[in-house]
Structure 1
Amino acid sequence: MQATDLMQGGKPFLHPDFLLESKLASELYHDVAADMPIIDYHNHLSPADVANNRRFGNMTEIWLHGDHYKWRAMRANGISEAFITGKSSDREKFRHWSATVPRTLRNPLYHWSHLELLNPFGVNELLNATNADAVYDRCNEVLKDFPVQTLLNHYKVSWLCTTDHPLDDLAFHQKAAAEIPGKMLPGFRPDALLDFSTPQKFSTSKEGLEKATGKEIRNLADYIDAFLQRVQYFHDNGCRISDHGFGAMPQLANDAAGLDKAFTHLLEGKTISVDQADQLRGLILLELCRKYHQLGWVQQFHVGAIRNNNTRLGILLGADAGTDSIHDLPQAERMAAFLNQLDTTNQLGRTVIYNLNPADNAVFATMAGNFQDGSIPGKIQWGAAWWFLDQKDGMEEQFKILSNMGLASRFIGMLTDSRSFLSFSRHEYFRRILCNLLADDVLKGQIPADKNMLKELIRGICYENARAYFSKD
């Protein structure tokens, strides 16, 4: 069956005006948003794949390896792990994913998957078990012409920022900087070195920092100094963005001397309390954020996930097995205290805050407004709908609340947050939703029918705001 032959509500599925419900929405998207470049300022793409211009061997490699969204859907559909992350052949895995796709109807995976098949592969069929092999073979042929850097150019990716371990030597970023300058930036993600939950994890972090910096760590001050050396190393290699993921923002320290003692216990291989570990994380994070401010970085806080919940799959696959979900921790008080601590000393840099729990939408939207200071348009950003929320309903809700409680005109727009080089279609998805929302407001008489104003707004949200916000100098 051709996707363009499937009539839904009088319109074919995935026609050129997909998600665009009016003539004005179509005009705004096709004349303005569609051809804007992409700045993908947060993702989990492989720096090695970019630097080495990887040529993927088949669709399973580029589409299914590492994609937690698809893994979760396949498990929910009763697919054995052997055909998801196991030792089955890539063709068999693709077949089982194809059989799952019809079961994802009304899940964003259904939209994303077909958008990705259409662009760049030109496949406008509805994927299912029957046509799996034919689609697999056709896409594999097209994929031969799309090594990673060609794919980035196809999607008009101006530049992207990866998410990198703080002890990474950044060799692939150095290679990319020499061969495709300005295309890929490192992103500093130090969560692993802020985990003091067990002596074993701390010992690994300490030894790694010592090796990377050549500095012996004998106390907390040494640990912080070595940490800041890594920030500087990343900066010297083009990094201008940090990223942090927490269930909730850490507590501010109320007993600095006690934390020195707790750190000594860690050095001795002893366990410290949950509160001590959390306050230690907060104390070091403040020092990191002061350094980011000094260097002119953007800091991102992704808050509200509860991770690695399934012990069985954790033992089988390790971390990032697709067993994370939304946490229900309170967020406002800790975040306000942390940002205020930095603002009080004029050391709060450009900051993007993301919530995973939709119940916190208004909390985060208003939190951003507390710390705007007139120095930079949209200095404190409530970030794009993230992870479980980056679907049509979630994007619409995020934009509506941002419009009500902040300045949507200063919004820095969408990102992929993905491990797949085909996920740049999510920018198209977002842009279509954005143009439709704005056109709907015009048709209802809620905003002016001023096309020049609308087009300026769309250009800003899709590209220009991020270009100005994420300075690479």
Structure 2
Amino acid sequence: MAMREDRLLPADPAVRPVARRLYEAVRDLPIISPHGHVDPRMLLADEPFTDPTALFITPDHYVTRLLHAGGVTLDRLGVGQGPLTEQRSREAWRLLCANWALLRGTPVRYWLETEFAGIYGITERPSAGNADDLYDRIAGAAKRPQELLNGFGIEFLATTDDPADDLGPHRELARTVKTRVAPTFRPDAYLEPAAPGWAGKVERLGAAADTDVSHYQGYLAALESRRRHFKANGAVSADHSHADARAEPVDHPERLYEKALRGEISAEEGAAFRRHMMLQMARMSAEDGLVMTLHPGIHRNHHPPTFQRYGPDTGHDIPTTVEFTRALAPLLARHGTDPGFHLVLFTVDATVYSREIAPLAGFYPSVYAGVPWWFLDNPSAIRHFQESVTEIAGFSRLSGFIDDTRALCSIPARHDMSRRLDAGYLAGLVCTHRLDEDEALETLTALVTDQPRKVFKL
């Protein structure tokens, strides 16, 4: 499992030296992570990582879904079971090592190899034979979360948070760690009135905002209040993920709201209300400055038995088709040229990037193309993105790399992969005389640090 210096760089001997020079110039720049799911309470507690399974397997559905597809049940991996005994943790770790071949050709293997070598000095390929030895070496070299944050060079780290959260851990982290750890306003559950338990969630939102939410205007006021609370605690963005990207006004939204509170709203009416609320979310972002990020088109919890037993975010969220051009027309008609409004669009459909998102980002000053995200965060999809999107919209319309991970240790591995792939692509432009090398380096530096700072207003 030798970590070769030129991994992921172009094989062409004429291009590789240029790519190597570009990569070396940016490899140690700070990490900007404006969208992810690391638990801020874990960072604040700062307990040493002595359990390799809890570090590398159970929080990372990229890992568990591949093992599950290969016949390893999630219960054997410790998913959804809380802290494991050492025996159970070792058993799960042995399963990962014994089934290492299931990861061949995936970015998951690249990330794990980078983590094992870069953090723990492990360069042996995992197997059933060395599983316990690797477990002991990782457990014996216990690392604390805040130690890793500093060692990784993470300048900015965004978490994902419920609008009713108090955000106390973020206030404590702001006083104790060098990394800026910011909350992200994620209101999805409060915008889907046909979902079970919605009225109770809205009541909780109203209590957090100290606002009467028995009527539609109070509901809007509560959302605006919680956005202000998040912004006061360092938030820079509001994140949205629904079944589609549609944003459309409805007549008399207060009537739909009242039906929803009574539990009488239909699925169709609920979708109409949510699409109306996406316009309201855009209005709020235009007013308060929180960047609006949108990543629709996911069938959540595709396997009901798995969801019932293990809960959400356990590897069975599956992509669906999604349309942006017509869906966002009402929103962009209102806010597409608003100064200060930033809308970052993501998709899990590679064709949508070049067909819709790149042309939108290539016209609207508010729109940015979110880099390949989830299922597309692999070398081949990223290379396709580089070629198809930048030639339509240019490099200045990209978001910068998004790691979107719950697994703290995978953050530098994912950013390293992105930097190598960007260096390779730009080196190709240099060698085909489309860019000078100084321009390529300026562009790569911007993609790594300047662009995410600009897009997310850091």
Could you say whether these structures have the same fold, taking a TM-score greater than 0.5 normalized by the shorter chain as the test? yes
Residue 446 (structure 1) shift: 4.1
Superposed, 1:35-50 pairs within 5 Å as 35-50=28-43
**What is the DSSP-based 3-state SS (H/G/I as helix, E as strand, rest coil) of the residue aligned with 2:375?**
helix
Alpha-carbon distance between aligned partners in 1 of 2:211 and 2:340, rounded to the nearest angstrom? 29
Q: Which amino acid aligns with 2:267?
A: V
Aligned residues of 1:118 and 1:124 also touching (Cα < 8 A): yes
1:104 maps to which residue? Answer: 103
Aligned residues of 1:336 and 1:367 also touching (Cα < 8 A): no
Equivalent pairs counted in the alignment come to 445
Q: Which amino acid aligns with 2:347?
A: N
Aligned residues of 1:228 and 1:288 also touching (Cα < 8 A): no
1:288 equivalenced with 2:284 (yes/no): no
Alpha-carbon distance between aligned partners in 1 of 2:386 and 2:163, rounded to the nearest angstrom? 33
1:15 maps to which residue? Answer: 4
Alpha-carbon distance between aligned partners in 1 of 2:180 and 2:330, rounded to the nearest angstrom? 36
Aligned residues of 2:301 and 2:317 also touching (Cα < 8 A): yes
**What is the DSSP-based 3-state SS (H/G/I as helix, E as strand, rest coil) of the residue aligned with 2:119?**
coil
Aligned residues of 2:362 and 2:394 also touching (Cα < 8 A): no
Alpha-carbon distance between aligned partners in 1 of 2:274 and 2:255, rounded to the nearest angstrom? 14
1:168 equivalenced with 2:157 (yes/no): no
Could you state the TM-score of these two structures normalised by the residue count of structure 1?
Answer: 0.90
Residue 94 (structure 1) shift: 0.8
1:351 maps to which residue? Answer: 343
RMSD: 1.8
Superposed, 1:73-84 pairs within 5 Å as 73-84=66-77
Aligned residues of 2:193 and 2:270 also touching (Cα < 8 A): yes
- 1:250-279 CA deviation, whole Å, 9 max, x = no partner? 341232x2x322221122232x23332122
Alpha-carbon distance between aligned partners in 2 of 1:234 and 1:470, rounded to the nearest angstrom? 15
Residue 467 (structure 1) shift: 2.3
2:359 maps to which residue? Answer: 366
1:159 equivalenced with 2:152 (yes/no): no
1:187 maps to which residue? Answer: 184
Residue 393 (structure 1) shift: 0.7
1:217 aligns with one of 213, 220, 229: 213
**What is the DSSP-based 3-state SS (H/G/I as helix, E as strand, rest coil) of the residue aligned with 2:368?**
strand
2:13 maps to which residue? Answer: none
1:26 equivalenced with 2:15 (yes/no): no
Residue 95 (structure 1) shift: 0.8
**What is the DSSP-based 3-state SS (H/G/I as helix, E as strand, rest coil) of the residue aligned with 1:158?**
strand
Q: Which amino acid aligns with 2:148?
A: L
Aligned residues of 2:344 and 2:369 also touching (Cα < 8 A): yes
Residue 316 (structure 1) shift: 0.4
**What is the DSSP-based 3-state SS (H/G/I as helix, E as strand, rest coil) of the residue aligned with 1:160?**
strand
Identity in percent: 26
- 1:422-448 CA deviation, whole Å, 9 max, x = no partner? 1121000111111112222333x2423
Residue 96 (structure 1) shift: 0.5
Alpha-carbon distance between aligned partners in 1 of 2:246 and 2:454, rounded to the nearest angstrom? 30
Alpha-carbon distance between aligned partners in 2 of 1:313 and 1:54, rounded to the nearest angstrom? 30
Aligned residues of 1:60 and 1:94 also touching (Cα < 8 A): yes
Alpha-carbon distance between aligned partners in 2 of 1:154 and 1:416, rounded to the nearest angstrom? 17
Aligned residues of 1:251 and 1:334 also touching (Cα < 8 A): yes
Superposed, 1:191-340 pairs within 5 Å as 191-198=188-195, 200-255=196-251, 257=252, 259-270=253-264, 272-340=265-333
**What is the DSSP-based 3-state SS (H/G/I as helix, E as strand, rest coil) of the residue aligned with 2:238?**
strand
Aligned residues of 1:45 and 1:421 also touching (Cα < 8 A): yes
Aligned residues of 1:45 and 1:420 also touching (Cα < 8 A): yes
Aligned residues of 1:51 and 1:176 also touching (Cα < 8 A): yes
2:449 maps to which residue? Answer: 463
Q: Which amino acid aligns with 2:381?
A: G
Residue 147 (structure 1) shift: 0.9
Aligned residues of 2:430 and 2:440 also touching (Cα < 8 A): no
Q: Which amino acid aligns with 1:456?
A: E
- 1:112-170 CA deviation, whole Å, 9 max, x = no partner? 1111111111111112222211111112222x2x2111111111111111111111110
**What is the DSSP-based 3-state SS (H/G/I as helix, E as strand, rest coil) of the residue aligned with 1:239?**
coil
Alpha-carbon distance between aligned partners in 1 of 2:404 and 2:422, rounded to the nearest angstrom? 19
Q: Which amino acid aligns with 2:301?
A: N
- 1:372-401 CA deviation, whole Å, 9 max, x = no partner? 2xxxxxx42101101010000111111112
Residue 367 (structure 1) shift: 1.8
- Specify every segment of 5 or more residues in structure 1 that has no aligned partner in the other structure, as ranges: 5-13, 373-378
Q: Which amino acid aligns with 1:150?
A: E
Aligned residues of 1:342 and 1:348 also touching (Cα < 8 A): no
1:414 equivalenced with 2:407 (yes/no): no
Alpha-carbon distance between aligned partners in 2 of 1:303 and 1:265, rounded to the nearest angstrom? 26
Q: Which amino acid aligns with 2:374?
A: W
Residue 19 (structure 1) shift: 1.4
Greater Cα offset, 213-222 or 283-292: 283-292
Residue 410 (structure 1) shift: 4.9
Aligned residues of 2:53 and 2:89 also touching (Cα < 8 A): yes
Residue 229 (structure 1) shift: 0.9
Residue 181 (structure 1) shift: 5.8
Q: Which amino acid aligns with 2:375?
A: F
Q: Which amino acid aligns with 2:9?
A: L
**What is the DSSP-based 3-state SS (H/G/I as helix, E as strand, rest coil) of the residue aligned with 2:157?**
strand
Alpha-carbon distance between aligned partners in 2 of 1:273 and 1:77, rounded to the nearest angstrom? 39
**What is the DSSP-based 3-state SS (H/G/I as helix, E as strand, rest coil) of the residue aligned with 1:279?**
helix
2:423 maps to which residue? Answer: 435
Superposed, 1:123-134 pairs within 5 Å as 123-134=122-133
Alpha-carbon distance between aligned partners in 2 of 1:98 and 1:197, rounded to the nearest angstrom? 43
- 1:283-306 CA deviation, whole Å, 9 max, x = no partner? 223223222222222111112211
Alpha-carbon distance between aligned partners in 2 of 1:130 and 1:181, rounded to the nearest angstrom? 40
Alpha-carbon distance between aligned partners in 2 of 1:155 and 1:251, rounded to the nearest angstrom? 39
Alpha-carbon distance between aligned partners in 2 of 1:27 and 1:409, rounded to the nearest angstrom? 22
- CA distance 1:34–1:181, shift in 2 (3 Å): closer
1:391 equivalenced with 2:385 (yes/no): no
